[in-house]
Amino acid sequence: MGLLTGRPVILDVDTGVDDALALLLAVGSPELDVLGVTCVAGNTGLEPVVANTLRVLDVAGAPADLPVAAGASRPLIDPPHLTESDATQTAEHVHGSDGLADIGLPPSSRRLDERHAVELIRDLLRQAETPVTLIPLAPMTNIALLLRSYPELRPKIERIVLMGGAVNGGNVTAAAEFNVFADPEAAAIVFGAGVPVTMYGLDVFYSVRVGEADAAAMAESDVPSARLAGKLLLFRMNGELDSAEIGDAGAVASVIAPDGLSTEELEVRVELEGRYTRGRTVVDRRSASDKDWDPHRHHPAPVVDVALDVDAKRYASLFVSVVSGERRL
- Residues in contact with 205: Cβ distance below 8 Å, sequence separation at least 6, in sequence order: 163, 245, 247, 250
The single-letter DSSP state of residue 265 is: E
pLDDT at 49 over 60: yes
Strand duo 197-200 + 303-310: pairing? parallel
Tell me: pLDDT of 288 over 80: no
CATH number at 7-323 = 3.90.245.10
pLDDT for the residue 84 = 45
What's the rounded Cα separation, in Å, for the pair 246 and 17?
Answer: 9
Domain boundaries, the chain: 7-323
State the pLDDT at residue 90: 41
> Taking the CB of residue 297, how many other CB atoms lie within 10 A of it?
11
The pLDDT of residue 287: 83
Per-residue pLDDT reduced to its tens digit, 26-42? 999 999 999 999 999 99
**Alpha-carbon span 57 to 249, nearest angstrom:** 14
Residue 177 has pLDDT above 80, yes or no: yes
Identity of the residue numbered 46: L
Residue 3: predicted pLDDT: 41
Tell me the C-alpha distance between 197 and 23, whole Å.
20
For the chain, report the end-to-end CA distance as a whole number of angstroms.
18
Distance, CA of 183 to CA of 143 (rounded, Å) = 11
- Strand stretches in 152-274, DSSP E: 157-163, 197-200, 209-211, 243-245, 261-270
Mean pLDDT of 147-173: 97
Q: Which of 7-16, 35-44, 91-100, 132-141 has the least mean pLDDT?
A: 91-100
Q: Are residues 142 and 46 in contact, defined by beta-carbon separation less than 8 angstroms?
A: no
User: What pTM, to 2 d.p., does this model score?
Assistant: 0.93
Give all strands of the β-sheet with 7-13 in edge-to-edge order.
Answer: 68-70, 32-39, 7-13, 132-136, 157-163, 197-200, 303-310, 261-270, 281-284
pLDDT-derived band at 329, boundaries 50, 70, 90: very low
| Lowest mean pLDDT, pick from 145-154, 234-243, 287-296 | 287-296
